[in-house]
C-alpha cells in the first residue's frame, strides 16, 4: 500500500473548504429567488433565465480551467479564481437593473469550474488506493456550500439586514471568497515535497491516441457548444435577446465547433502517425461514458438545487426559510453520499457500483415526479433525500475513475467530465422553463436510465492495461494485495 504524503490531510481540508466557498458563492441566489422576483418585479421566466445563466459559463470554464490547472498548477489557478469571482458577486448583490443581475450571474457561473482545480490538487497528494474516498470527500463536503447557502443565508438576511437583507447576505459570500483566496495561496503547494508536479506543456486540448478516439473526441465537444446554444435559445424565448442576435450567435457557435473539430483533426493526424508511448495512451470511450454519467447525476443535482426551494414553497405553501431548510437536505447528503460512492467504487469496482446507482437514480427521479401538495411533507423530504444520496454517490463513483485515465492531463479530463455536469444542468433547467416540475423529474429519470445503458458498454476500469496506460497499471499492481480492488 502507498503511504499518504505528509501534509495531505491539510491539503484536502483547505481544498475542500475552497470548493465549499466557491459553491456557496455559486448558489447564493437560490434561497432568494422568490424574494428577488417580488422586490424587483421580475417574471418567472426572467428568474428562470437567471438560474440558467448561473450554470451556463461553467461549461466552457471547466474545459478552460482544466487546461490552465494542468499548465500553471492548482495553487495559482484556485487562488486567482476566488479573488476574481468576488467582483461579479458584489455586482449582483447590489444590482438594480435586470441586465446587471443577468451579466453578473452569467460571470458567476465561472466559479463552478473550481471543482476541476481541486480534483488535480487532490490527485497529487493522495495515493491511488485512496482516490475514490478522498475525491468523494472533496466533492461531497465542498458541494455542501449550496446547502449552507440555502440554510443559512435566509436566516442572516432576516435577522441582521432587514428588507435588503438578501443583498448583504449575498455580498458577504463575495467577501468570504476574496479573503479565502489569500488564505489558500498562502498555505498550499501544488505537490508534496520532492514530488514533481507534472505540468502539460501547453494549454491545448489533450490529443487522442487512436483514430476512433479522435472521432469520439470531436463528437464529445458538440454538447459543450450545444449547451451554450440552449442558453441562447432560452434568452431568445424570454425576449431578452433579439432573434437576429440569437441567429448570429448560433452561427458563431457553429463556426467555433467546426474550427475546434478541424483543429483536433489536423493536430491528431500528425500525432497519430508517430509512435505513441504506452504511458501516453488513454481511452476517449471511457471519458465519454463518464461524461454522460456525470450529465445525468451532477447535472440533475445542480438543476434540482436551483429549483427546489421555489418548488417546495409553491407545492407545500412554505415560507422562504422553511423551504430553504428542506431544500438544503438535497445537498447536505453530500457529506456522506459522495464519499460513500467513491469508497464503494474503491472496494467493489467502479463500473458495477456506477451501474447500480444509475439504475436506482432513474427509479427515484420517476418517484419525484409524483410529488404534490397532498403528500405528507415528511415523506416528500425522505424521497428528496433518497434521490440526492443515490445521485451524489453516483457522482462520487464517476470521479473515482477520472484521475487515472491520463495523469498529466487529469485537469483537462476532469474539466471535460465536469463540463458535462453543467451541460446537464443547463439542459434540464431549460426544459423546466417549458414544462411543469412533474415532466422535469420524469425526463431526468429517463436520462439516468439511458446513461445506465451506456455504462454497460464501458470497459471495466480495472482492465486499464488494455487501454494502454501500462505505467499506471504497473504501479497499481505493485501495491495490489489479495482482496483489494485495483483503482483505475
Can you give the chain as a three-state secondary structure string?
A: CCCCCCCHHHHHHHHHHHHHHHHHHHCCCHHHHHHHHHHCCCCHHHHHHHHHHHHHCHHHHHHHHHHHHHHHCHHHHHHHHHHHHHHHHHHHHCCCCHHHHHHHHHHHHHHHHHHHHHHHHHHHHCCHHHHHHHHHHHHHHHCHHHHHHHHHHHHHHHHHCHHHHHHHHHHHHHHHHHHHHHHHHHHCCCCCCCCCCCCCCCCCCCCCCCHHHHHHHHHHHHHHHHHHHHHHHHHHHCCCCCHHHHHHHHHHHHHHHHHHHHHHHHHHHHHHCCCCCHHHCCCHHHHHHHHHHHHHHHHHHHHHHHHHHHHHHHHHCCCHHHHHHHHHHHHHCHHHHHHHHHHHHHHHCHHHHHHHHHHHHHHHHHHHCCCCCCCCHHHHHHHHHHHHHHHHHHHHHHHCCHHHCCHHHHHHHHHHHHHHHHHHHHHHHHHHCCCCHHHHHHHHHHHHHHHHHHHCCCCCHHHHHHHCCHHHHHHHHHCCCCCCCCCC
**Residue 462, burial from CB neighbour count under 10 angstroms (0-12, 13-18, 19+):** middle
**Spatial distance between the Cα atoms of 367 and 370, rounded to a whole number of angstroms:** 6
The pLDDT tens digits of the residues spanning 418-468 come to 888 888 888 888 888 788 888 999 999 999 999 999 988 887 654 443 334
User: What pLDDT score does 286 carry?
Assistant: 85
Higher pLDDT, 16 or 425: 16
Q: How large a percentage of the chain has pLDDT more than 70?
A: 89
How many CB atoms are closer than 10 A to CB 88?
22
Q: How far is the C-alpha of 44 from the C-alpha of 238, rounded, in Å?
A: 10
Residue 251's pLDDT is what?
Answer: 95
| Terminal Cα distance for the chain, rounded | 15
Contact between residue 394 and residue 272 where contact means Cβ atoms under 8 Å apart? no
Give pLDDT, residue 473.
37
> Under a CB-based contact definition with an 8 Å cutoff, are residues 194 and 248 in contact?
no
Mean pLDDT of 368-391: 88
Give the number of other Cβ atoms within 10 Å of residue 457's Cβ. 8
pLDDT number for residue 429? 83
* Rounded mean pLDDT, 61-79: 87
Phi/psi for 196 (5° steps) reads -75, 135
Q: What does the alpha-carbon distance between residue 195 and residue 402 come to, in Å, rounded to a whole number?
A: 21
d(CA 166, CA 172): 10
Most confident of 176-180, 205-209, 275-279, 316-320: 176-180
Per-residue pLDDT at 381: 86
Distance CA 367, CA 390 (A): 13
Kindly tell me if the per-residue pLDDT of 183 is higher than 80.
yes
pLDDT number for residue 253 = 92
pLDDT of residue 1: 42
pLDDT of residue 3: 53
Q: Average the pLDDT over 469-474 and give the result.
A: 40
Check whether 478 has a pLDDT greater than 70.
no
- Over the stretch 317-335, which tens digit does the pLDDT of each residue have? 777 777 777 776 666 777 7
Residue with cell string 464529445: 220
Over residues 368-375, the mean pLDDT reads 87
Q: Tell me what the pLDDT averaged over the chain comes to.
A: 82
Q: How far, in Å, CA of 267 to CA of 349, rounded?
A: 35
User: How far, in Å, CA of 187 to CA of 181, rounded?
Assistant: 10
Angle between helices 377-399 and 334-348 (to 10 degrees): 40
HSE toward the beta carbon, residue 283, CA cutoff 13 A = 23
pLDDT tens digit sequence for 221-275: 888 888 888 888 877 877 777 888 889 999 999 999 999 888 888 888 877 877 7
* Whether residue 487 has pLDDT greater than 60: no
How far, in Å, CA of 51 to CA of 310, rounded? 12
Q: What percent of the chain has pLDDT over 90?
A: 24
- Give me the pLDDT at residue 86, please: 94
The answer to which of 16-20, 74-78, 84-88, 232-236 has the lowest mean pLDDT is: 232-236
pTM of the predicted structure, to 2 decimals: 0.76
Predicted local distance difference test score (pLDDT) of residue 298: 87
Is the CATH number of domain 8-189+206-478 1.10.3720.10? Answer: no
Q: Which of 96-105, 174-183, 229-238, 275-284 has the highest mean pLDDT?
A: 174-183
Give the model's pLDDT for residue 467.
39
pLDDT at 136 over 80: yes
Task: Assess whether pLDDT exceeds 80 at residue 27.
Answer: yes
SS (H, E, C) 310-349: HHHHHHHCCCHHHHHHHHHHHHHCHHHHHHHHHHHHHHHC
Q: What is the pLDDT of residue 238?
A: 72
Residue with cell 476500469: 461
In this prediction, residue 85 carries a pLDDT of 94
Burial of 373 (0-12, 13-18, 19+ CB in 10 A): exposed
Amino acid at each position: 500500500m502507498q503511504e499518504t504524503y505528509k501534509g495531505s490531510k491539510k491539503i484536502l481540508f483547505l481544498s475542500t473548504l475552497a470548493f465549499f466557498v466557491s459553491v456557496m458563492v455559486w448558489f447564493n441566489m437560490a434561497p432568494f429567488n422568490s424574494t428577488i422576483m417580488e422586490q424587483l418585479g421580475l417574471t418567472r421566466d426572467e428568474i428562470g433565465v437567471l438560474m440558467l445563466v448561473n450554470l451556463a459559463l461553467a461549461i466552457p470554464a471547466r474545459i478552460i480551467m482544466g487546461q490552465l490547472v494542468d499548465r500553471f498548477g492548482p495553487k495559482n489557478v484556485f487562488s486567482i479564481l476566488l479573488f476574481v469571482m468576488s467582483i461579479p458577486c458584489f455586482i449582483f448583490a447590489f444590482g438594480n437593473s435586470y441586465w446587471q443581475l443577468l451579466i453578473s450571474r452569467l460571470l458567476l457561473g465561472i466559479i463552478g469550474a473550481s471543482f476541476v482545480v481541486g480534483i488535480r490538487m487532490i490527485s497529487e497528494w493522495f495515493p491511488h488506493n485512496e482516490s475514490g474516498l478522498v475525491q468523494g470527500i472533496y466533492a461531497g463536503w465542498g458541494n455542501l456550500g449550496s446547502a449552507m447557502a440555502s440554510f443559512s443565508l435566509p436566516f442572516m438576511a432576516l435577522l441582521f439586514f432587514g428588507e435588503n437583507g438578501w443583498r448583504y447576505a449575498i455580498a458577504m459570500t463575495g467577501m468570504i471568497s476574496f479573503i479565502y483566496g489569500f488564505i489558500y495561496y498562502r498555505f498550499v503547494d501544488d505537490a508534496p515535497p520532492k514530488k514533481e508536479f507534472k505540468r502539460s506543456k501547453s494549454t491545448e486540448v489533450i490529443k487522442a491516441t487512436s483514430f476512433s478516439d479522435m472521432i469520439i473526441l470531436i463528437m464529445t465537444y458538440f454538447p459543450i457548444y450545444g449547451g451554450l446554444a440552449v442558453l441562447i435559445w432560452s434568452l431568445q424565448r424570454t425576449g431578452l435577446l433579439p432573434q437576429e442576435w440569437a441567429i448570429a450567435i448560433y452561427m458563431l457557435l457553429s463556426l467555433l465547433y467546426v474550427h475546434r473539430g478541424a483543429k483536433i483533426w489536423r493536430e491528431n493526424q500528425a500525432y497519430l502517425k508517430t509512435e505513441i508511448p504506452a504511458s501516453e495512451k488513454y481511452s476517449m470511450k471511457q471519458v465519454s461514458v463518464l461524461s454522460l454519467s456525470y450529465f445525468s447525476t451532477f447535472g440533475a443535482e445542480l438543476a434540482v438545487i436551483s429549483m427546489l426551494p421555489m418548488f417546495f414553497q409553491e407545492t407545500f405553501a412554505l415560507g422562504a426559510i422553511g423551504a430553504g431548510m428542506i431544500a438544503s437536505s438535497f445537498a447536505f447528503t453530500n457529506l456522506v453520499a459522495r464519499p460513500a460512492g467513491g469508497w464503494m467504487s474503491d472496494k467493489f469496482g467502479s463500473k458495477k457500483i456506477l451501474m447500480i446507482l444509475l439504475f436506482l437514480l432513474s427509479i427515484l427521479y420517476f418517484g419525484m415526479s409524483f410529488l404534490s401538495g397532498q403528500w405528507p411533507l415528511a415523506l416528500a423530504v425522505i424521497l428528496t433525500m433518497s434521490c440526492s444520496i443515490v445521485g451524489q454517490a453516483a457522482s462520487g463513483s464517476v470521479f473515482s475513475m477520472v484521475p487515472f485515465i491520463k495523469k498529466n492531463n487529469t485537469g483537462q479530463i476532469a474539466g471535460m467530465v465536469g463540463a458535462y455536469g453543467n451541460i446537464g444542468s443547463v439542459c434540464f433547467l431549460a426544459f423546466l422553463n417549458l414544462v411543469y416540475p412533474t415532466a422535469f423529474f420524469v425526463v431526468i429519470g429517463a436520462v439516468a436510465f439511458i446513461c445506465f445503458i451506456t455504462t454497460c458498454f464501458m470497459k471495466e476500469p480495472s482492465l486499464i492495461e488494455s487501454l494502454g496506460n501500462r505505467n499506471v497499471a504497473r504501479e497499481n499492481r505493485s501495491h495490489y494485495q489479495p482482496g483489494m480492488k485495483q483503482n483505475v
